Structure formats: structure tokens, C-alpha cells
Amino acid sequence: MPASTPLPEGTPARGPEFVSPSRSAVRPLFGVLAGVVAIALCAIVFGPALEGDYVWDDVWLVEHNQNIIRADGIGRLLATDMWDSAHGKPSVCYHPVPMATLWLQARVTGLSLVAFRLGNLAVHLMCAVLLLVFLRRQGLGRTVATAAALFLLVHPSVTEPVLWVVGRQDSLAALCALGALLVWPDATSRRPLPRAAAAGLLCALAFLSKEPFVVVAVLLFARTVADRVPWRRALAWLAFPVAAVAATVMLRHALAIPSTAGGPVADFRVLATYATILWHYLAQLTAFDNGPAVVAFRPLPWPAVAAIYAALAAAIVPLARAARSGGRRAALALVGTTWFLVSLAPHVVSVPAFGVYGNRYAYFPLMGLLVVGAAAADGLGLHARPALRRLVLLAATLVVVVASARTAAEARAWHDDLSLSSHRLDPEDGFALQAHSSVILRRYGCQAALPELDRAVELAPQLGQAWHNLAGCLLTTGRFDKAVVAATRALALQPNDPGAEYNLGAALVFAGHISRGIAHLETAARLSPGHVLTARLLAGLRASPVSAAAPTTSAPPPQR
């Protein structure tokens, strides 16, 4: 209707069928502008860091993984866990979805690190878009939803899933989880069962991208509760994601892939572990920080644990009451809180098992916190004066700029393994020193790595790999008696490890304890029949035990 044409009598000035021409023109313009800003931020923050070297597990799982390189490797990638497919050592990490995408991309781009990182960045950008769509569908304002998506795009904690090639498992799983939340039906949905079935399939794909995302079904349940869906309909819908997860577990079982690698005892220590993990990631995410590349896990004392649970109760109880009384934004904030809390729960197993935090673990919980913040900001914006809203928008813009600068600094550390292990290195953290010493060892050899290895085992005597590397370097530099001590500690911490058996056997032989050394070398040969160094040393001992056991620095190099 032209603007000059008078409205019929009794027609409201603004109704559901009336849209201001100026507003209808602004909406697509806002979307285009937001897209341009998002792409520009990605280019500025991550563009300079796309080039570099493969680091961490990318070396073994991508660069040297024949099943990624070979055109017929897809079968092995789909039928085995990712470590078994790379070098024949089984694990619980069955991630066929991200590994298949890497295989597909390798068919087009080869093993270009820049291309792989660009692929990760594209998945991350899609996650930001889906978060924006999810918040808009929950009734939040366009500006608030866009700000939340931009925060996700440039938060320092997203650096690892973007620049670590294998980190695609986190962003791809999060993308599937967001898709499940978007297609999940509510009380007003038409044909809810097909939507629930699609959400179930996406749950399975998230689980097949990374094991902790088994909790996506819990988030769908939280949405159902927040939407006040009658319980019979809710149970019918929830049968689909539960069945999908169960089918995935059965697939793992059929492929002989275990579903757990063990973890903390199910007692009160789990409460302390969970509270510590919550506190670590909450502090990291709210401070727009990422932390060092490696940080050791140390449980909080019980008074701090009790204070964390008390604070949680004080926040959740009034939020649940507000949601129950019909507060739409309170219900969304409760879903976001559940999102944050539940997505960190599986890491009570992984974090203590590895002894270190993973910065990538913050990726999906960050989205939950952004949902909480967006719901709160949208509610406050309804009652704020225009001047205050403009001030808040300016503050949000400054936060995005600061976060972008911090993330760009984090991204630069991913150029190579040395810059990454040196980034914000804590010299009093044994786990961080162990990671750094491994890089020094590969780059400069044992003589340069020995001081840091000595310090690492002093600070973290439970680190079997540090003792193992120390034993190998002592062997290489001809310090055989000390190598025996270090190799004995390594074997105690890593029983049935052929490399540890070899190091101890070689150390004993070159220290003059030939019969004891041969026993450990034979064990190493039995555990790893194809190990060349073991076979070579055993053959030399059988041919001439005296000359083979001569204490000289020309000993065969240890397995590291």
C-alpha cells in the first residue's frame, strides 16, 4: 500500500500485515552488513595464521596418515577409531564424521594446511550463523542475536578448533548439535515426528564427531521442558534421539571400539572434579581469555567446591522459578545454563585422565553461556532507555574489538610447534614443560632437551611420557646408569608399553646388566614384533654379547 494512501477507518497504524517500507529495506541490509563484518573479522583474526606447520596430533592423524592421503582410505577411516586408522594403536576416539570430511577435502586440496584450516574456519562460521538463527527463533532481538554470534566468532577460546586441523571434531559436532536444536519440534510445530527424527540423526552425527556430544539429547530434553510440551508427546519425540545414540553405541560395539577409557572413581571426588572444571572454563570464557596451550589440572579444595555449588544453586533456583511462571527469556536462559553445565559434564573423565585442560573443550559450552547472556541482554534492552541501549551497543562493539585482538594474538602462536609450546609457557607447570621439551627434542636433540625433561619429571613425577623421553635422551648421551633409573620409572607408569620395555632393556644392557636387559628386550619384541631397534639389538647380543654390551655412546637411538 503506498505511503500516501490513507488507511481504512479502524485499521491500526501498525498491525501484523503492515510493514514499514523503510524497515523492510533495512532488514536485508542489516543481514548483508552483518555477513560482511563476520567475514572481515575472520579474515583479520585468522587469515595471517592460516600458514605454518602441522602441529600436535595433526602430524600423525593428518599429515602422515596414509588413509587420509589414499583414495581408498575412506573405508579404514569409517571402520576404525582415528588413532587405529593412523598408526594401528586402538583408542576410544571414534570420529568418522570429521575424519571423512578431511578425507574428502584431501581429494580436492591435497594436504594443504591452509586449505584444511580454511575448512575449519568455514565450519566455525556456520556455527555462528546457526547460533544467530537459533536465538532469533527464540524471539530475541536482531541486534542481541547478532552480537552473540560475533562474540562466538572471535572469542579467544575458539582458536584451537579453528587452527588445529583435528579440532574440526569440536566445531563439526557443535554444528550438528545446533542443527538438532533448530529442527527440534515445539508445542506449535506441524509434523513434529519427522522433525524429531531429523534431530535424532543430527544427535548421532554429533556423537560420531566427538564422544562428549552424547549430551545433545539432554539439551533437547531441556528445550522440551522449557517449551512446556505435554509429557506424552515429549517422550514420543525424545525416543528418536535416544534411539539414535543407542544405535551409535551399538555401532561402536560392533566395530570393537570401547566406549570408555576409564576415569575417576564414582565418589565425592567427581564433585570436586566437576566443580573445578566448571570454575576453570567459566573464568576463561567470561574473561575472554584462552590461557596457555597446556595447563595442568589441579582439583580445587573442598571449601571452594562447596562455594561453587552454592553459587550455582543461588543462580539456578530463581531462574527456574521465573521460567516456571512463564518468563520466556528466563526459560531460554535456563536452557543456556543447562547447555553450559551439561556440555562440560563428560570432561570429568577426560580432563583427569590426561591431567590437562583442553582449550577446545570450551567451544560448545561457550555457546551455552552466550545464550544466557543474549537472553539477559534482550530482557534488559526492553526496559532500557535509548541512550543506555546505545551505550551498551558501544560497549559490546569494544568487547568484540578487544576479543578479536586477543584471538589474533592466540592464532599467531599456531604457526609451528615451537611457537605453540612456548606460548604463555608456565615454567612451574610440569605438563607444559613436558610438551615443550618434546618439541625441543624433535628440533634440537637430546642435549638441548635434557634440562627441561629433568625439570618436568621433578614437577610432575607422574608423567610417564616425560620419564620415557628422559630415559631415551640419557641413553643417547651415554648416561646408562641414570637411564636405567628413568626407564624403570617410565615402565612403572606405562606398563606393557614396548617403547618403555625397549628403553629399559637397552639401558640395562649398556650398563652391563645383560641378562636382565635381554629379558626386557624380549618382552618388547613380543609386544611389538616389527620394532626394528629391538630386533637389531637382540641380534647383536646373540651374535656377540660382549661387544654389543660395550658402554659406548654409539648405542642404538631409543624409541621416543
What would the DSSP string read from start to end of 20-45? -HHHHHHHHHHHHHHHHHHHHHHHHH
What b-and-e string marks burial along 490-509, b requiring 16 or more CB atoms within 10 Å of the CB? bbebbeebbbbbbbbbbbbb
Q: CA 385, 391, 392, 394 torsion: positive or negative?
A: positive
Q: CA 28, 30, 32, 38 torsion: positive or negative?
A: negative
User: Around 264, how many Cα atoms within 13 Å sit in the side-chain half-sphere?
Assistant: 20
Fold of domain 451-548? 1.25.40
Tens place of pLDDT for every residue, the chain, 560 residues? Answer: 334 444 344 433 333 333 444 444 456 777 788 888 889 999 999 999 999 999 999 999 999 999 999 999 999 999 999 998 888 778 889 999 999 999 999 999 999 999 999 999 999 999 999 999 999 999 999 989 999 999 999 999 999 999 999 999 999 999 999 999 999 998 888 889 999 999 999 999 999 999 999 999 999 999 998 888 888 899 999 999 999 999 999 999 999 988 765 554 456 789 999 999 999 999 999 998 888 888 899 999 999 999 999 999 999 999 998 888 878 899 999 999 999 999 999 999 889 888 899 999 999 999 999 999 999 998 887 667 788 888 888 888 999 999 999 999 999 999 999 999 999 899 999 999 999 999 999 899 999 999 999 999 999 999 999 999 999 999 999 999 999 999 999 999 999 888 899 999 999 999 999 999 999 999 999 988 877 888 888 888 877 755 444 433 333 444 43
Neighbours of 205 (CB within 10 A): 22
Q: CA 525, 531, 537, 538 torsion: positive or negative?
A: positive
Give the containing element (helix H, strand E) for 551.
Answer: none
Question: What does the alpha-carbon distance between residue 374 and residue 437 come to, in Å, rounded to a whole number?
Answer: 43
Torsions phi, psi for 14 (to 5 deg): -135, 115
Q: Helical H runs in 47-73?
A: 58, 66-69
Question: What does the alpha-carbon distance between residue 441 and residue 452 come to, in Å, rounded to a whole number?
Answer: 10
| Secondary structure (DSSP) of 93-126 | ---HHHHHHHHHHHHHHTT-HHHHHHHHHHHHHH
Question: What does the alpha-carbon distance between residue 193 and residue 236 come to, in Å, rounded to a whole number?
Answer: 8
- The residues near 107 (Cβ < 8 Å, ≥ 6 apart) are 71
- What residue spans define the domains of the chain? 23-417, 451-548
Q: Which of 423, 418, 419 is nearest to 295 (CA)?
A: 423
Question: What does the alpha-carbon distance between residue 67 and residue 270 come to, in Å, rounded to a whole number?
Answer: 38
Question: What does the alpha-carbon distance between residue 63 and residue 112 come to, in Å, rounded to a whole number?
Answer: 9
The DSSP 8-state label assigned to residue 267 in this structure reads S
